[in-house]
């Protein structure tokens, strides 16, 4: 196999090992703080990206890599590489490039659609307490109405925009405040930068389940961390907090049922983890 496809396969395997080991360590350590867990998994993501640089900085790894590549290409007797391996390596590169370009094209289409939504939106005037919250958290954020949306959308770095659905005024004052707080925290924490980076990495590693799982975990923990900050700003009622993400009473009720179901499933998972930990401790004894 050619050196570049071989390096891609090796790099992908290393990422999978790192993610699996990190997940096992996280399960054993049981980090409770959302901020700590988010920093942990973002650190694991950075480690995965920097693996090639770490290998190059090592004094021994390049020698092993060169010897391995020579053996794979020439064989023991110095024979040329098999045409099948050469064709396979070329096919791997073309498949990877096609998937990465397709995913990147999808991101470009999404960016164009966001720009179109922004152009078709109009300036929004909200409650005075929301204006005070905006001044405190994200003064540069611009609230705008968008008739094409059913849920709030926040994007942008230099000129952040929060697009709000027209159904927002139908909510209670506390629910409107919860929605605004949730979206302003996106801007204050510069989540858009993280979203762009995460989606670019996902585009490059579109084929890698470990990378997709890692990014989904980071997104989940980022939302949990952001929502915990929101609760510190205001003591939201559960229904108001749910309406910060879903704007109909039916969806709120369904969300509450889903939360209760997930809580029961999470308790079952913790019980299974405790059981396996006890088995491990008994085995060590």
Q: What is the pLDDT of residues 103-147, one digit of tens each?
A: 999 999 999 999 999 999 999 988 898 998 899 889 999 999 999
Rg of the chain taking only CA atoms, in angstroms: 24
Q: Is residue 203 over pLDDT 50? A: yes
Asked whether 119 and 111 are in contact (CB, 8 A), the reply is: no
DSSP H/E element including 144? strand 142-145
* pTM for the full predicted model: 0.67
- pLDDT for 74 equals 47
Cβ neighbours around 108 below 10 Å, total: 9
Asked whether 170 and 147 are in contact (CB, 8 A), the reply is: no
Mean per-residue pLDDT, 18-31: 90
* 145-186 pLDDT per residue, tens: 999 998 899 999 989 999 999 988 888 888 888 889 889 988
Residues with Cβ < 8 Å from 275, sequence gap 6 or more? none
- For residue 270, how many C-alpha atoms fall within 13 Å in the half-sphere facing its CB? 9
């Amino acid at each position: 196999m050619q050196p570049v496809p071989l390096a891609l396969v090796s790099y992908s395997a290393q990422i999978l090992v790192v993610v699996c080991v990190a997940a096992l360590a996280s399960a054993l350590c049981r980090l409770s703080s959302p901020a700590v867990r988010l920093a942990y998994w973002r650190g694991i993501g950075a480690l995965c990206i920097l693996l090639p640089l770490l290998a190059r900085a090592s004094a021994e790894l390049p020698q092993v890599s060169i010897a391995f590549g020579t053996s794979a290409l020439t064989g023991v007797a110095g024979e040329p590489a098999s045409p099948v391996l050469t064709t396979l390596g070329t096919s791997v590169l073309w498949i990877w490039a096609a998937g990465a370009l397709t995913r990147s094209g999808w991101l470009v289409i999404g960016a164009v659609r966001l720009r179109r939504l922004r152009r078709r939106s109009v300036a929004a005037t909200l409650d005075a307490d929301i204006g005070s919250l905006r001044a405190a958290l994200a003064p540069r954020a611009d609230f705008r109405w968008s008739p094409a949306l059913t849920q709030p959308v926040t994007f942008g770095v230099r000129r952040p925009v929060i697009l709000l659905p027209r159904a927002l005024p139908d909510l209670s004052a506390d629910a409107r405040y919860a929605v605004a707080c949730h979206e302003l925290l996106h801007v204050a924490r510069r989540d858009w930068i993280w979203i762009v980076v995460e989606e670019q990495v996902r585009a490059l590693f579109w084929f890698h389940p470990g990378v997709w799982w890692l990014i989904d975990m980071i997104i989940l923990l980022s939302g949990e961390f952001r929502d915990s900050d929101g609760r510190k700003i205001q003591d939201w009622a559960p229904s108001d907090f749910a309406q910060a993400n879903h704007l109909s009473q039916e969806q709120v009720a369904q969300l509450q049922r889903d939360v209760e179901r997930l809580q029961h499933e999470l308790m079952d998972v913790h019980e299974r983890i405790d059981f396996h930990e006890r088995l491990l401790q008994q085995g060590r004894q």
